[in-house]
Amino acid sequence: MKQISTFGASAHQIGDLQLLRDSEDDGALARLLAPCPILQLEAGQNVADGGRARLYIVLRGALAVAADTRTGMADGTISKVLPGESVGEQSVLDEEANLSTITALEQSELLVIEAELVWKLIDASNALARNLLRLLSFRIRAANAQLRRRQKLGEFYRQLSMVDGLTGLYNRAWLNDLLPTMTATAHGAGTPLALIMIDLDHFKKFNDSHGHLCGDQALRAAAHVLSSALRPTDCAVRYGGEEMMVLLPDTSDKLAVMVAERLCERMQQAVVFADMRLPLPHITASFGVATLQPGQDDHGLIAAADAALYRAKDLGRNRVARHKVDLNSPEHP
């Protein structure tokens, strides 16, 4: 990076500089800018400003500007600065060193204006102040749009991390995050919350007989049974392995049992193999139903549904059992 001229000795005009366009007194501004150096950068060369607050205006060539990662805003986006455009306004206003990385994309010429002179130019030109406000307003809107995109992308990845990759159902992380909130909401509103615990019957035997790829297909088929039979407000979760779960907000014990019985019937009809030339194994499942009791937390609700599930297995599998509430327990005086 070397000085090749000054603005006063060059052929450039005030009108070439976007920040100074439509100025009232170009002559006065030209006199202020006359001693400002013009630096030449070779392609790939970085601007080295020694940690000073400066304004750079591209007179020829092009710059690539990457935001400093210490701001927490950088995401790999590179801004391109073309002739007449500037960089460094924020550093001048903040009276701090420019934290951006500025690199010449090709051989370029830059007009360098020190921070103190920028303020003199602002005092001398209302047009410069207006142009600077417009530029900063545009950059703020662009930064806000970038933040919104980033937030949407972050939410997308957060949701993605809450979904089981094999079945498409919510996963255990989602359950741990949402179930405590759902139980607190139900207690606060005085509305019922039902939970159905589901375990595919003899799934290890199914895997041993047909292979793990077919086992995965069976899990997907079972998940489809659940997701296709529920209301928009209901949620299906892969709890782990071949265990699944259905959460039914605002659903009584009686209605939850009816839902479980319908799911049990549909599970028997689920098609596992798309190739009908192969023998069609039917998958069945056992269902345990529990509803949220006064004073019960999310762990207690899961434990109750799990106990009901084991009752269904003990009774022969491929059936529904509901949790029997102990009316003599402290929760039911």
Please pick, among 24, 106, 242, 331, the residue that the annotation labels catalytic: 242
CB atoms within 10 A of CB 65: 19
Answer left, alpha or beta for residue 101, where phi above 0 means left and psi between -120 and 50 means alpha. Answer: beta
Measured distance CA(121)–CA(18) in Å, rounded? 14
Secondary structure of residue 132 in the 3-state scheme? helix
Contact 125, 20 (CB under 8 A): yes
Contact 99, 69 (CB under 8 A): no
Active site residue 242: yes
Measured distance CA(14)–CA(7) in Å, rounded? 10
From the list 319, 307, 323, 167, the residue with the least C-alpha distance to 237 is 167
Q: Is the dihedral of CA 128, 130, 131, 132 positive or negative?
A: positive
Pairing between strand 285-291 and 86-87?
A: unpaired
Contact 302, 243 (CB under 8 A): no
The angle subtended at Cα 300 by Cα 298 and Cα 306, nearest 5°, is: 105
Contact 292, 269 (CB under 8 A): no
Measured distance CA(51)–CA(216) in Å, rounded? 59
Measured distance CA(42)–CA(44) in Å, rounded? 6
Q: Would you name the residues annotated as active-site residues? A: 242
